[in-house]
Amino acid sequence: MDSQTLRDYQAPIDALSGRVILVTGAGDGIGKALSLALACHGATVVLLGRTLRKLEKVHDEIVASGGPAPALAPLNLETAPAGEYDALVDSLQREYGRLDGLVHNAAILGTRAPVELYDVATFGRVLHVNLTAAFALTHVCLPLLKASSDASVVFTSSGVGRKGRAYWGAYAVSKFGIEGLSQVLADELENDGQVRVNCLNPGAVRTALRAQAYPGENRDRLPLPETIVAPYLFLLGRAGRGVTGGSFDCQPPICTTP
């Protein structure tokens, strides 16, 4: 399986029908675009994010478009204690009894600075939100994922999570960690056959995080989030059965900067 196959995928309208998929960072950017696309193709989406107002807006857009009613899961990945993760899983267990998909999309940039000058507290904050919280959420959701006959976990990576670049600091390190976590989990679950695990690098996309990283960039030249969701739909749907342990690009290599 290669990245081009995923990029060329055209999802049938019922490609995600009946599937329950949790998306982090669902209030805007790629998370919002993906949530809308998943619902459009029949999935019941669990919208997780820190800002309830944004999640409610996405919820209303999905309902207005005729998609399955999504669930709201307000959770601040920076500050949430273990009990809030447990409460989320308990709620999902009662409502659905399983998860068919888990998308780790939420992330923060931190600062772009040389390691010598990087603030230690900021480094820890970025690692927690981008990596530790992804581990914690996956950890508590694994029983729900294993309750599905065909579950998919998709981690969102970055070009600087594969080859380190100067001044990307904690963000790059967190994405290297995401790639490693994905590989470890895929290897652990490979023989079970129920849960597949992969990484996707969205590339340069018109998002708030991208604007923060490149404030002088002409955003109009960047693709919109909704134009790069095909690989996510492939991996999260039945088309992606048997694909695990991979790391793919949503855009051609020339565009894979974070």
Instruction: Enumerate the active-site residues.
Output: 171
CB 197 within 8 A of CB 182: yes
Q: How far apart are CA 52 and CA 55, in angstroms?
A: 5
Radius of gyration of the chain (CA): 17
CB 217 within 8 A of CB 211: yes
**Residues in CB range of 205: below 8 A, 6 or more apart:** 29, 30, 222, 223, 224, 225, 228
Which residue in 251, 237, 168 sits closest to 209, CA to CA? 168
Residues facing residue 174 across a β-bridge: none
Which residue in 223, 195, 236 sits closest to 41, CA to CA? 236
CB 89 within 8 A of CB 137: no
Alpha helices (H) in the chain, listed in sequence order: 3-7, 29-40, 52-64, 82-95, 120-127, 133-146, 169-189, 208-213, 230-236
CB 212 within 8 A of CB 237: no
> Residue 65 corresponds to which tokens in the numbers above?
């478009």
